[in-house]
Structure 1
Amino acid sequence: MTDPQTFRPQGHFNFIKPEQRPILLVMLAAGSLTSVTGTIVTPLFPEIVTTLQIDTRWAGLLVSMHTLTTALFSPVWGILADRIGKVKVLVPALLAYALFGAIGAYMTSFASLLLSRALVGMASAGIAAASIGVLSSLYEGESRTKLMGYATSVLSVATIIFPILSGAIGRTWGWQWAFTLYGLGIPVAVAALWILREPAASQAAAVHLGQMQALRQTLQRSQVLVLFLGLGLASILFYIVIIYAPLHFRAAIGADTLLNGLILASRAVGAAVISAVGASRLASWLGSTYAIALGFGLMALTLITIPTLTFVPWIVLTALLFGVGFGIIMPNLYSVLSDLAPNQQRAGVLAIGTGCSSLGQFISPLLLGPVWRQTGIGVFYVGGGVAIAIALLSGLSRRTKGSGLPPVD
């Protein structure tokens, strides 16, 4: 981890306050762990399916099971973080993440591994809820959009590194050893205890009846509901590549765990670059809704292209462009959602947004597993068609100023 004393904001980073750099580093480290909850397993997925002799129709649940419990528990942890303090949620969640993630190495059946994935997802929900609540409270307006972009970029860098590490470990020592990567939750928990201090207001905060009523009113706004839907749909499409691309490339070009890890890492490179330097600029130039429509358009193009590719450099380029599309969408959706949520409710609202995103990831193999089993590559065309429809609807909602995503111009 970068030494806070040597971290010097320059140019695009000059809005970061010196006293907030150590906090930001810890939050990004914690958030990075939540971003790799699934990608640690993904490069190993074909080998796990073969070893445990899992039906391919249900095998995708191993990659997405943690997202169900993340979706279910994110709102709970978010509201609890607003009430008792974010640090009190974050540290136990990090320790549970390390424990439940690592025990996956000892699971010898589909059911037991599925249970361990559910438990690590529950812990990941607590990390995400506390982390995004802290990050969103540091800044407002355009600065927060930039911060969300940088956070998405750092999380994307983690999803570049960890699939390669996981694939290399799996190739060298076996897929079980890759689960030791979850143990990184322990040093991050220690750093959080050392660096983070809960503001006095947070320690005394309580969710009164009036606050719950205000939260309910926020959640009933049509713009907020559309943003929740957008997060869920983006995640459904995202997991098409996470789950089915490794299976496809193993069959099409004989990709092993390391090559699949490299392909998945290239997707994360695109997301990292665009999130850091492009997402907020596109929102400024085009408006948030047009930027999000552009992101869905790129996802559609790359999904439709996947079945035609057998040359590794073209596969890598396509994965990179897919990541660019996703990297445009997510920080803009979260930034607009932050703008619509009052300060006292922001951690809870954003946690619910994270829950919607995680629910989309869980639903993805349930909806598309039968499509994969029956048609194989047809799953990529179905996903591409859905992404095109979302892009068109997003653009039209902006032009008509209707009930679509609220513009932030």
Structure 2
Amino acid sequence: MKNSFDSRQWPLLLASTLTVMAGAALAPALPTLQAVFHDTPHVALLTRQLLTVPALFIVLAAPIAGWLVDRVGRVRLLVASILLYVLSGSVGGLLDRLDLILVSRALLGVAVAGIMTSVTTLIADYFDGLTREQVFGRQGAFMSFGGVVFLIGGGLAADLHWRATFLVYTVPAVLLWWAARLPEPVVTRPLATATHPRLPRAKIGLIYGAGLTGMMMFYVIPVQLPYRLVDISGASGTVTGFTIALSNVAGTVAGVSFARLRRHLQPLQIVTLVYGLMAIGYLLIGLAQHTPMVLAGLALAGFGLGLTVPNLSTWLSSFTPPAMRGRVMGGLTAAVFIGQFVSPLVAQPFVNAYGTAGPFLAASVLLAVLGGVAWGLRNKA
């Protein structure tokens, strides 16, 4: 039985990389896109929103995706979402207006909501216990490693032409057939007259809050780091892609290590570790005067993020009934991407006041405070 389950993880792990790809592939091209559309009002903010507009629509679509996943099936939603992802992600290369590209990015967000919710729910359905922790850890590793591939690919494409960057979004088409062959889990639904189990709302809210703040802090890297690197060394799109990819390499190591780490630390202790690593990493990036110091900061922050998704997903799925799992996991998806969407909005005042170092130094202070709060709560959740 275990071996049959193991074969099901691979399309899910590969599909998980698409959530990171949504922003990673385009991140190295942001300075180029800002130059191309320089006549567009508020172009500096709008080009950054190319990475985060998908997050707003993930937030709006995730509760609907959670309902659909519980009602019409996990696999159907996954296949439809991958198809929408390919179409909406690649069409930006054919457009000549920044506002239309933003619309296509909104549709990409709807697709990511369906992918993230269905994949996470399927992993929780197919696996349990230690195996579930291992697969969620692998999911984090695949997401991080996918970021490496797509950041580098996006950087190389950006140096060729900004339109070429959008071609990367056609790659997931190869997953459609594989995902369609996944078996639909049999989920026992309670009778209409049955009493639904009470969920620990305070604990769920804590998990959602950790997901929101963790992603808000991490997304400072793909949105703000390209400009920080230009400020420090005049980095090209290719160099930016390779540099940001280091955080994803560290995240891959963290994902692979998660199951072993989880044997020794409780979920809130891992949250504390994540905040601490990211606080130190961002302090290094904010103070950096040369690229090696940036790389050290990225390695620490990336390792922290690599623990975040498997930790919160495993924690949440451990007490959620299967019949309600899609909706609860959809809530986590929404929380994570609220953080992604608001990240540049929160960071921009610090950019205006203190330059490219500002967001990283401010994030470092906030992460240190959040780490202290998580440590204080470690025995209460």
Q: Into which bin does the TM-score normalised by the smaller protein fall?
A: over 0.9
2:55 is equivalent to residue 67 of structure 1: yes
**Aligned partners of 2:172, 2:307: CA distance in 1, in Å?**
28
**Contact 2:284–2:294 (CA under 8 A) maintained in structure 1:** no
Could you tell me which of 314, 320, 338 is aligned with 2:299? Answer: 320
Aligned match of 2:310: 331
2:43 is equivalent to residue 43 of structure 1: no
**Contact 2:211–2:335 (CA under 8 A) maintained in structure 1:** yes
Q: 1:126 to 1:364 in 2, by over 3 A?
A: same
User: In the TM superposition, what is the alpha-carbon distance from 1:390 to its structure 2 partner?
Assistant: 1.0
Aligned match of 1:274: 254
**Aligned partners of 2:23, 2:196: CA distance in 1, in Å?**
34
Partner SS, residue 118 of structure 2:
helix
User: In the TM superposition, what is the alpha-carbon distance from 1:207 to its structure 2 partner?
Assistant: 8.5
Aligned match of 2:169: 182
**Letter aligned with residue 176 of structure 1:** R
**Aligned partners of 2:155, 2:285: CA distance in 1, in Å?**
21
State the Cα deviation string for residues 5-49 of structure 1 (Å, max 9, x = none). xxxxxxxxxxx9221233211111111112211101101111111
**Contact 2:140–2:307 (CA under 8 A) maintained in structure 1:** no
Could you tell me which of 168, 184, 189 is aligned with 1:198? Answer: 184
Could you tell me which of 129, 132, 151 is aligned with 1:141? Answer: 129
**Contact 1:93–1:126 (CA under 8 A) maintained in structure 2:** yes
User: In the TM superposition, what is the alpha-carbon distance from 1:206 to its structure 2 partner?
Assistant: 6.7
Unaligned runs of 5+ in 1: 1-15
Partner SS, residue 36 of structure 1:
helix
**Letter aligned with residue 260 of structure 1:** T
**Aligned partners of 2:359, 2:295: CA distance in 1, in Å?**
19
Q: Which stretch of structure 1 is more off in the superposition, 255-264 or 182-191?
A: 182-191
**Letter aligned with residue 22 of structure 1:** S
User: In the TM superposition, what is the alpha-carbon distance from 1:312 to its structure 2 partner?
Assistant: 2.8
Q: Which stretch of structure 1 is more off in the superposition, 339-348 or 50-59?
A: 50-59
**Aligned partners of 1:84, 1:346: CA distance in 2, in Å?**
14
1:20-169 alignment runs, 5 A limit: 20-53=5-38, 54-169=42-157
**Letter aligned with residue 244 of structure 2:** L
Q: Which stretch of structure 1 is more off in the superposition, 184-193 or 49-58?
A: 49-58
**Letter aligned with residue 163 of structure 2:** Q
User: In the TM superposition, what is the alpha-carbon distance from 1:396 to its structure 2 partner?
Assistant: 0.7
Could you tell me which of 316, 320, 338 is aligned with 1:359? Answer: 338
**Letter aligned with residue 352 of structure 2:** R
**Aligned partners of 1:183, 1:88: CA distance in 2, in Å?**
20
**Contact 2:25–2:151 (CA under 8 A) maintained in structure 1:** yes
Q: What is the percent sequence identity of the aligned residues?
A: 25
1:227-376 alignment runs, 5 A limit: 227-277=207-257, 279-376=258-355
**Letter aligned with residue 302 of structure 1:** G
**Aligned partners of 1:248, 1:379: CA distance in 2, in Å?**
10
**Aligned partners of 1:379, 1:155: CA distance in 2, in Å?**
24
* TM-score, reference length from structure 2: 0.94
User: In the TM superposition, what is the alpha-carbon distance from 1:310 to its structure 2 partner?
Assistant: 3.6
User: In the TM superposition, what is the alpha-carbon distance from 1:210 to its structure 2 partner?
Assistant: 6.2
Q: Which stretch of structure 1 is more off in the superposition, 90-99 or 322-331?
A: 322-331
User: In the TM superposition, what is the alpha-carbon distance from 1:166 to its structure 2 partner?
Assistant: 0.9
Q: 1:207 to 1:258 in 2, by over 3 A?
A: farther
**Contact 1:58–1:369 (CA under 8 A) maintained in structure 2:** no
**Aligned partners of 1:294, 1:273: CA distance in 2, in Å?**
15
* TM-score, reference length from structure 1: 0.88
**Aligned partners of 2:275, 2:339: CA distance in 1, in Å?**
15
**Letter aligned with residue 19 of structure 1:** S
Q: 1:177 to 1:209 in 2, by over 3 A?
A: farther
Aligned match of 2:368: 388
**Letter aligned with residue 21 of structure 1:** D
**Aligned partners of 2:164, 2:106: CA distance in 1, in Å?**
19
State the Cα deviation string for residues 61-110 of structure 1 (Å, max 9, x = none). 11111011111111211221111111111111111100000011122222
Q: Which stretch of structure 1 is more off in the superposition, 379-388 or 21-30?
A: 21-30
**Contact 1:32–1:158 (CA under 8 A) maintained in structure 2:** yes
Unaligned runs of 5+ in 2: none
**Contact 1:82–1:206 (CA under 8 A) maintained in structure 2:** no
**Aligned partners of 1:391, 1:224: CA distance in 2, in Å?**
18
**Aligned partners of 1:121, 1:151: CA distance in 2, in Å?**
19
**Contact 2:65–2:117 (CA under 8 A) maintained in structure 1:** yes
